[in-house]
């Protein structure tokens, strides 16, 4: 009898176990099926061209209600940086998740984009996304495949719709209307990825256009201490503000379109810029006000505890891995080269993972030409906590381009003209030195106390330990990232061809040729500059 009971018990136990396994398998199958049928998230990436300000950050002379809405209903990032403050290298880093010095030719401005580097929009297209863009995608430069065909690194282009620009400096591209055309062609069985790349607030501006928009120079709460504080500069800043607001207007119309078709909640919306404003000592340089950029992210179905401000340090190289992760695409599935950036999905989910997010890497090679043999101005830098450390590898070169070629790496502008005038006055010459003069090999700034980077601390003994630690960390990270500069191969960046019409600018100008370079003014050329 006991043996029968034992056998019966074993039989029942075995069957219960089998049934349990079957139940688990069934649940797993249901879960997989549910995951497969659940709607995949849409991606809307919005990038201004040269914008460093949004009203969500408390800027009183700019009004960006659409950006502020994204921040209010999502997250506002206070420490977002580009690794390289120029359009082509910054955008290359955005779409690949790699620092610009890891991108070979694409580290430079006006390059040939290497075929080996795949962009995240291309990866999303290969993994079932419907991908498009309007306005400015990656560039300036050229990107072709092995057959010589153009690569749409940011998706199929939608630029047919035009508008009457509110100023002569604003593009006639109707970004919002082009997005609507994209939506009309969209098969909703697929998720979409769209790149809204405004051409604003890139120069040039219609001078004093801001007066028509009711902007008063007294609205500006402060002028950076490295510029003259006068009416000309303030008006230039307000003309820039008009173009930032144009970008924001179309952002608002795009958000409205998503809401009307019921896709706003299921869309990750990222709004940022490629670098800071197109003014001296900002665009094209590697200071706080060069590389620090605005960013807000909204995802109503995904962000926990919206309305937060994020103080962790984020780089543009973190965008691609974040987008891949929310899209459910692994790095292996993407087919992209190894990604250096780290996704910040944990911040969206309001989770504490213990990741060190108190630093970013910055640097540059060649931007606009204007030196002999199309040389660049190589810099590498590390921002860690409150401090910015920079190493200028070729301090004998002019950081903004040679005087006789118009300081070519600074866009012509009323503000640039005012600073060039300041050189001739002993009391204001320091302003010229800050934007255009040669620099020490190393620089160190406390960006919390001195965001304008006016006081170089490198020679102060009390900061020697901080300098040494930052230099050591920067060097280690660059070695790990196979930066050619760390292996005495950095001159390769100067050997890559410049694809702009201004290539070999320095020699051609000296030979009397009139070379097309419409982003600098004739008055910028300082031919009588003492060498």
pLDDT value of position 529:
74
The domains of the chain, with CATH numbers, are 39-353 (3.40.720.10), 362-524 (no CATH)
Work out the burial of residue 359: count CB atoms within 10 Å of its CB; fewer than 13 is exposed, 13-18 middle, 19 or more buried.
Answer: middle
**Residue 386 token pair:** 């409150």
Q: Which of 144, 123, 121, 143 is nearest to 134 (CA)?
A: 121
Cα–Cα dist 115/101, whole Å: 16
pLDDT of residue 3: 37
Q: Is the backbone of residue 58 left (phi > 0), alpha (psi -120 to 50) or beta?
A: left
- Asked if residues 209 and 169 have their Cβ atoms less than 8 Å apart, the reply is yes
Residue in 512, 494, 269 with CA at minimum distance from that of residue 378: 494
pLDDT digit string (tens) for the chain, length 531 residues: 333 333 333 333 334 343 343 343 433 343 333 334 457 999 999 999 999 999 999 999 999 999 999 999 999 999 999 999 999 999 999 999 999 999 999 999 999 999 999 999 999 999 999 999 999 999 999 999 999 999 999 999 999 999 999 999 999 999 999 999 999 999 999 999 999 999 999 999 999 999 999 999 999 999 999 999 999 999 999 999 999 999 999 999 999 999 999 999 999 999 999 999 999 999 999 999 999 999 999 999 999 999 999 999 999 999 999 999 999 999 999 999 999 999 999 999 999 888 999 999 999 999 999 999 999 999 999 999 999 999 999 999 999 999 999 999 999 999 999 999 999 999 999 999 999 999 999 999 999 999 999 999 999 999 999 999 999 999 999 999 999 999 999 999 999 999 999 999 999 999 999 999 999 999 999 987 765
Alpha carbon distance 516, 335 (integer Å): 39
Sign of the torsion angle spanned by Cα atoms 498, 118, 480, 295: positive
pLDDT at 225: 97
Separation of alpha carbons 498 and 367, rounded Å: 9
Partners of 144 in beta bridges: 150
Spatial distance between the Cα atoms of 484 and 491, rounded to a whole number of angstroms: 8
Compute the distance between CA of residue 145 and CA of residue 112 in angstroms, rounded to an integer: 11
Tokens 């540059």 sit on residue: 364
Residue with tokens 């160190």: 444
Kindly list the distances between the CA atom of residue 52 and the CA atoms of 68, 82, 200, 207, 240, in Å, as whole numbers in the listed order.
14, 11, 11, 19, 10
Q: How many CB atoms lie within 10 A of CB 46?
A: 26
Q: Are 107 and 100 a contacting pair, CB within 8 Å?
A: yes
Selection from 193, 181, 183 nearest residue 125 by Cα: 193
Q: Are 238 and 61 in contact (CB under 8 A)?
A: yes
SS3 assignment, position 268: strand
Neighbours of 3 (CB within 10 A): 7
Contact 422, 233 (CB under 8 A): no
**Long-range Cβ pairs for the range 514-517 (8 Å, 24+):** 517/406, 517/408
Place of tokens 């256009």: 209
Helices (runs of H) and strands (runs of E) counted in the chain = 15, 13
Which pTM was predicted?
0.92
CB 128 within 8 A of CB 39: no
């Amino acid at each position: 009898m006991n043996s029968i009971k034992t056998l019966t018990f074993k039989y029942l136990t075995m069957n219960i176990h089998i049934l349990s396994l079957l139940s688990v398998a069934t649940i797993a199958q249901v879960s997989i099926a549910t995951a497969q049928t659940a709607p995949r998230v849409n991606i809307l990436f919005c990038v201004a061209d040269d914008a460093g300000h949004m009203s969500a950050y408390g800027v009183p002379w700019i009004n960006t209600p659409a950006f502020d809405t994204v921040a209010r209903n999502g997250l506002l990032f206070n420490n977002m940086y580009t690794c390289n403050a120029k359009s082509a290298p910054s955008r290359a880093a955005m779409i690949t998740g790699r620092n610009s010095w890891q991108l070979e030719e694409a580290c430079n401005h006006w390059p040939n984009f290497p075929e080996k580097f795949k962009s995240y929009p291309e990866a999303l297209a290969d993994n079932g996304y419907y991908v498009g863009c309007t306005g400015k995608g990656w560039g300036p430069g050229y990107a072709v495949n092995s057959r010589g065909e153009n690569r749409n690194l940011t998706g199929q282009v939608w630029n047919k719709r035009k508008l009457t620009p509110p100023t002569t400096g604003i593009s006639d591209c109707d970004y919002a209307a082009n997005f609507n055309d994209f939506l009309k062609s969209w098969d909703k069985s697929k998720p979409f990825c769209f790149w809204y790349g405004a051409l604003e607030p890139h120069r040039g501006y219609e001078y004093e256009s801001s007066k028509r928009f009711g902007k008063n120079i007294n609205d500006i709460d402060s002028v950076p201490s490295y510029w003259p504080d006068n009416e000309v500069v303030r008006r230039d800043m307000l003309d820039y503000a008009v173009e930032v607001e144009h970008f924001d207007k179309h952002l608002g119309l795009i958000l409205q379109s998503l809401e009307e078709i019921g896709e706003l909640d299921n869309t990750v919306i990222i709004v940022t810029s490629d670098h800071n404003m197109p003014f001296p000592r900002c665009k094209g340089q590697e200071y706080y006000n060069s590389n620090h950029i605005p960013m807000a992210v909204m995802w109503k179905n995904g962000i926990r505890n919206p309305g937060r401000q994020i103080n962790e340090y984020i780089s543009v190289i973190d965008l691609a891995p974040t987008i891949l992760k929310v899209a459910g695409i692994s790095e292996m599935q993407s087919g992209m080269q190894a990604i250096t950036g780290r996704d910040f999905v944990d911040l969206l989910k309001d989770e504490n993972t213990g990741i060190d997010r108190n630093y970013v890497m910055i640097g540059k090679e060649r931007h606009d030409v204007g030196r002999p043999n199309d040389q660049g101005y190589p810099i590498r830098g590390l921002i860690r906590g409150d401090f910015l450390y920079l190493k200028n590898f070729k301090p004998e070169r002019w950081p903004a381009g040679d005087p006789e070629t118009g300081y070519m790496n600074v866009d012509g502008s009323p503000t640039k003209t005012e600073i060039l005038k300041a050189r001739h006055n002993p009391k204001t010459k320091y302003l010229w030195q800050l934007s255009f003069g040669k620099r020490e090999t190393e620089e160190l700034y406390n960006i919390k106390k001195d965001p304008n980077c006016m006081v170089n601390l490198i020679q102060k003994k009390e900061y020697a330990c901080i300098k040494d630690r930052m230099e050591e960390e920067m060097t280690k990270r660059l070695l790990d990232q196979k930066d050619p500069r760390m292996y005495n191969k950095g001159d390769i960046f100067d050997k890559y061809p410049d694809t702009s019409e201004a290539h070999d600018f320095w020699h051609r100008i000296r030979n009397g040729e009139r070379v097309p370079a419409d982003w600098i003014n004739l008055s910028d050329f300082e031919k009588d500059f003492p060498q």
